[in-house]
Amino acid sequence: METTMHRPQVGDSVWTSDGNQFAYVKELHGDYFKLDVPMAEDYWLSCTHISDYRDGKVTLKFPRSEADGHKLSEPGTEQPVEATGVISQEDMVDQRERMERELAAQRERLRNGDV
């Protein structure tokens, strides 16, 4: 089965499936696009959420009421931004552990001269 992923252009208007125009495409990065949402914080969405794209109009697969559940803080993270804007305690601990492992590996490479 062949599928076509729609990729918008900077400046295109963004609409939800229930007919609400609420943002514009601000930036592109691979299969992701950043939304410029008036009076709100900008965020990223995956192009997989686009149901239709024509004449500079991007239509998403979900209604406006579900948009917050699809927000990404960065392209490719695939972890939605939490509604509060704060990561959970569990995610914070996981992130810290990953960072500590990476720092330990970097220290080891520096000691061995493998820069």
Under 8 Å between Cβ of 32 and 39 = no
Output the pTM of the full model.
0.64
- Give residue-wise pLDDT tens across range 59-94: 999 999 998 889 998 888 765 555 555 667 777 788
- Give residue-wise pLDDT tens across range 51-63: 999 999 999 999 9
Q: Which of 73, 74, 76 is nearest to 86 (CA)?
A: 73
- Report the share of the chain in percent with pLDDT over 90: 48
pLDDT confidence of 96, banded at 50, 70, 90?
confident
